[in-house]
Amino acid sequence: MAFLVDESTRIVVQGLTGSTGKLAGDMMRAAGASIVAGVTPGKGGRSADGTPVFDTVEEARAVGASASILFVPAPLLRDAALEAFAAGMSPVVLMVDGVPLDVSLELVTAAREAGVVLIGPNSPGVISPGKSLLGALRADFYSPGSVAIVSRSGGMMTTIAYELTKAGIGQSTCVGVGGDAVIGLDIPEAALLAEADPETERLLVFGEVGTSQEERLAGLIRSGAITKPVYAYIAGASAPAGKRYSHAGASAEGEHGGAVAKRRVLAEAGATILDRYTDARRL
């Protein structure tokens, strides 16, 4: 089972012929992912490391592609993402950092209207260890099991997975929702997917200052929509408020979105708060 991606996910890489696309393609194949197509407008008919390349996502869909990840230059991002939505790819992963706010607002809205699960922008992707990877993550730090990780930080997701793996605790699916303020799939939505996944027994969340995602997760726990045990580490309790850090979503305004308040509402809802993320070893 797992969620978002598994053995049956058939991937198109938009931008497979570029250097970043190639690198990520190699990481995905190493993680067992099935890449069925690449798309680079103007390069249709070629192949990249044995994978057929098409001009359009529609053509990739015709050979079975169901999910997409984009490695395209910034000026082409909007068009490429809308093309993926129009062709019904889901999920679609946007790894790119620094997407202008109004482009993000447009893409996130368009994905919702198309019924597509958009992961990102500024996401490292999603991995179901031993099954598939739609992203750029080192699969060897992950191991199959029953803990889902939902993280606002890509680097910390891998770091926590490493700690879990070292302690003999495997993961069902790990998704980096992205560090931006405006993202597609968010922590509450990912948590609901984890709740519905029979293979996932527990949920580990890496949260940080800014946005209302952790507060809304607490609401889902309180309402009974999330019943599986939730463990959370919220970074930035000591980060001065009123600043925007490198994750564009990491910005607290006084009490609004502060790490201390997030920890409190999650604890009150029944989640277990970790003082250090390394406490996950003892999960």
Partner 1 sequence: MRLVESVAKQVLSRHGLKAPRGIECRTAAEARAAADELGGEVFVKAQVAFGDRAGAGLVRRAAGAVEAETAARQMLGSEIEASLVESVLVEAAIEAVESFYVSVHVDDEERARVLRVGSGGGAGYDRDEAEVQVVVPRHGLELFDIRNLVGRLGVRGAEREVLARAVAAVVSAARDWHAYTVEVNPLFLVEDGALAIDAKVELDDYSLAAVPDPGLLPDQVEADRERRAREYQQSDHRGSFRYVQLIGESYDGARVGSHSVGGGESLVVFDALESVGLRPANYCDTSGAPSQEKVAFAAALIASQPEIDGYFFSSCIANQPLSVTANGLVEGFRRAGWRGPTVVRIAGNEEAEARETVSAWAEAEGVRARVVGRELDEWQAAELLRGLLAEGA
Structure tokens at 22: 């190639």
Regarding 29 and contact with partner 1 (CB under 8 A), the answer is no
Regarding 246 and contact with partner 1 (CB under 8 A), the answer is yes
CA distance 231 to 206: 9
Contacts of 271 (CB under 8 A, 6+ apart): 205, 217, 218, 221, 230, 231, 232
Q: How far is the CB of 22 from partner 1 (least distance, A)?
A: 14
Q: How far is the CB of 47 from partner 1 (least distance, A)?
A: 26
Regarding 278 and contact with partner 1 (CB under 8 A), the answer is yes
Q: Which of 10, 152, 247, 262 is catalytic?
A: 247
Q: How far is the CB of 246 from partner 1 (least distance, A)?
A: 4
Check if the beta carbon of residue 183 is closer than 8 Å to that of residue 108. yes
Regarding 186 and contact with partner 1 (CB under 8 A), the answer is yes
Q: How far is the CB of 87 from partner 1 (least distance, A)?
A: 22
Closest CA relative to residue 190, chosen from 220, 169, 168: 220
Encoded one letter per residue, x for contact with partner 1 by CB under 8 A and - for no contact, window 155-184 reads: xx-xx--x----------------x-xxx-
Stretch of 45-53, 195-203, 243-251, 263-271 contacting partner 1, by CB under 8 A:
243-251
Check if the beta carbon of residue 150 is closer than 8 Å to that of residue 200. no
CA distance 226 to 218: 9
Regarding 25 and contact with partner 1 (CB under 8 A), the answer is no
Q: How far is the CB of 65 from partner 1 (least distance, A)?
A: 25
Q: Which residues carry out catalysis? A: 247
Residues in contact with partner 1 by CB under 8 A are: 97-102, 105-106, 108-109, 112, 136-138, 141, 151-156, 158-159, 162, 179, 181-183, 186, 206, 208-209, 211-213, 216, 235-250, 253-254, 276-278
